[in-house]
Every structure is written in C-alpha cells, then in structure tokens.
Chains A and B, each alone.
Chain A
Amino acid sequence: MQDYVQNLADNTLILGQRLAEWCGLGPFLEEDLALTNTCLDIIGQAKMLLEFAAELKEGNETADDLAFMRDQHEFKNVILVEQPNGDYSQTMLRQYFMDVYHVHLYQALSTSTNQKLAGIAAKSLKEVVYHLERSELWIKRMALGTDESFQRVQASLDKLWHYHHELFEETESLTELVKQGIAADPNVLKQLWLKDVNALLASTPLEIPQKGWKATGGRKGHHSEYLGLMLCEMQFLQRAYPNSEW
C-alpha cells in the first residue's frame, strides 16, 4: 500500500518539479502563467499524496523528508515524468500522457475503498480534467499547425511513446490492492488511456512509432540519468541547510 501511494506521489512530485523549470521561461506571458497554474495544482497533489505516504510509513518521516531527503533509488516515479522538458511539444506531450492517465486514475480512485485515497482523488480530479483540456488542445494545435510544429511533436511522440507502458505495469502487490478495491486496475486504465490517446492521434497526422522498447524500472527505483541531476537541484537547499525554514 505504501509503495502504491509512493508511486502516485512521486509521479506528481517529479512532474511538478519539471514543470516548475518552465516558470518565467514560458513561450509567452499567458502560457507561462497557465503552465505554472498546472504545475502548482500538481505539486498540491504531490503534497497530499506525500503526506499520506509518510503516514503509511509509520515512522517519523514527514512529507518534506520524503521529498527532500530520499536518494534517487528510493523514488518510485515512472521514468516518463523525469524526462527533460525539451521543447514545448515534448513538455506538452509528456503532460498530455500524464493528464489522460491522471483523469482515469483519479476517476477510478474516487470510489476507492480507502477513504483517504478517495478524498485526494476526488479533489484532484477537477484539476486534471482542466489540465487535460489544455494539453489536448496544445497537441492538436501543434500537430495540425505548421510543418515545423508537426515535425517537432512527431519527434516528441517518437521519443516519449515508449515510456507510457510503465504507467500500467502490474505487480503482485498491486493486483492484491485492486482486489481489495483500494487501487485502480492498471489493465482497465491502460484500455481507457489507449482509447483516448488513439482517438486524439487519429484526428491528427501523427503516427505512433511501430517498433520500440518499453520503459520499465522506475517503480523499483531504477531511473534514467535525468532524475539524479534534477534531485541535486531540487534537494540542494534542504540537504545543505537541513530543517531550514522560510
């Protein structure tokens, strides 16, 4: 159970941190603010989930400890969310993949037998529905825009497609949680996710790469080279000046 919540928490924490890197650097003022809004929503979700994850650990660790004092191999996020922002098409495609996932995840979890998880999901669902509306339009706009915008979003799709598999990985402990009505069924989520993503891609000239590999390992703490660098930056202050407040 702790593992499950930690995965959900880390997905939002790492995605939120990545989005925060865009703060002040967005393509234009309105979009800069809009993406930062999304970022703050997601960090808010990370806070709720990390607090719950800390509670489930039954130790002395707080949500802040989990965010700032764990090492790379202790992070359980999928590798997709730690991928660099790249250009705006890459940021938005990563966001779109996660938004579709989060909408179906939170929808399923809002009826979880675990009250706390159901509460967090119901609150977060309203936020991610809007995030999805935004990222979906961005993908359409770029795919149907100019030659260059199409090439860029196609290149991002070629790069990021292989990472989605990891969102729906099954483990024995997860299957048990699904049976108890606590967790969302990864197979159901995968079908819903593919249905939505295929529908959007079908309305554009974008093509899913036919051959490829499947990202795996993030949930066990095996990450890409990008996470460590990111954590260095994110955790620096708390590590250099432990327990400092501002």
Chain B
Amino acid sequence: MKLFEVFLRAKSGLSHKHVGSVHATDADMAMQNARDLYTRREEGESIWVVDSTQIVSSNPTNKDAYFAPAEDKIYRHPSFYPFDKEVKNI
C-alpha cells in the first residue's frame, strides 16, 4: 500500500496544515481514510491528500548550507522601523 500525507484546513480563511499520513491503495481511498481518521471530531472542513513520494523535501545533511547563513542576517527582519505612536496592535 502507498503512503499519503494528509493536510487539513480547520476553517475557511486558514491554510491547510499537515496533520499526519494514511495508508491507502489509491487516492480515493486515501481521501476517505483521511476523512475517517482525521476529521472524526470536527477538526476540519477541507482535506488534501498527497502521495508521499510526490513531495520533494530538503535533505537534512544540507541543513547548515540551507539554513545557517540566515542566522546572522538580522537586517532581513523588518525590525528597524520606528512605529508611529498612533498605530496600535503591531
């Protein structure tokens, strides 16, 4: 059986979020199994299932090359702007 990744959207306006995976022989079965396993308690109102082999993931051994250089580049964060006193809730 194939493995499928399950993404749920809790309510409209939010984005789909990865919640786990299911085994299934085909996409239809994966969708139904996702419904039966992950939405029993009203957790979502929209489901995506994706064949796990279709996901391209970053290689953990590349972790440093990929992510470490961002560490000391604080200027990429929008944290150097003074806020106007009138503006609230930021």
The yes or no verdict on A and B being binding partners is yes
Q: Which of B1, B32, B40 contacts A137 (CB 8 A)?
A: B32
A33 lies within 8 A of B37 (CB):
yes
Interface residue stretch chosen among B17-25, B58-66, B80-88: B17-25
Contact with A along B1-43 (1 / 0, CB 8 A): 1000000000000000000001111101100110111001000
B1 lies within 8 A of A28 (CB):
yes
A34 to B38, CA, bound (A): 11
Who on chain A is nearest to B33 by CB? A30
Identify whether the interface residues of A are mostly helix, strand, loop, or mixed.
Answer: helix
A30 lies within 8 A of B26 (CB):
no
A93 to B37, CA, bound (A): 23
A29 to B20, CA, bound (A): 14
B40 lies within 8 A of A37 (CB):
yes
A34 lies within 8 A of B26 (CB):
no
Given contacts A28-B23, A30-B22, A30-B23, contact A137 B28 (CB under 8 A): yes
How many residue pairs link A and B with beta carbons under 8 A? The number is: 27
A130 to B35, CA, bound (A): 10
A28 to B22, CA, bound (A): 11
Instruction: Count residues of A near B (Cβ-Cβ below 8 Å).
Output: 12
Which residues of B are found within 8 Å of A137, using beta-carbon distances?
28-29, 32
B40 lies within 8 A of A34 (CB):
no
Q: Which of B1, B25, B32, B33 contacts A133 (CB 8 A)?
A: B32
- Does A21 interact with chain B (Cβ within 8 Å)? no
Who on chain A is nearest to B26 by CB? A141
Return A203 CB to nearest CB of chain B, in Å: 14
| In the A-B complex, the 5 residue pairs with the closest CB atoms | A34-B36, A30-B33, A37-B36, A30-B22, A137-B28
Besides the contacts A28-B1, A30-B24, A137-B32, what 16 more A-B pairs have beta carbons closer than 8 Å?
Answer: A28-B23, A29-B23, A30-B22, A30-B23, A30-B36, A30-B37, A33-B36, A34-B33, A34-B36, A34-B37, A37-B36, A37-B40, A133-B32, A134-B32, A137-B28, A137-B29
Mark A residues whose CB is within 8 Å of B. 28-31, 33-34, 37, 130, 133-134, 137, 141
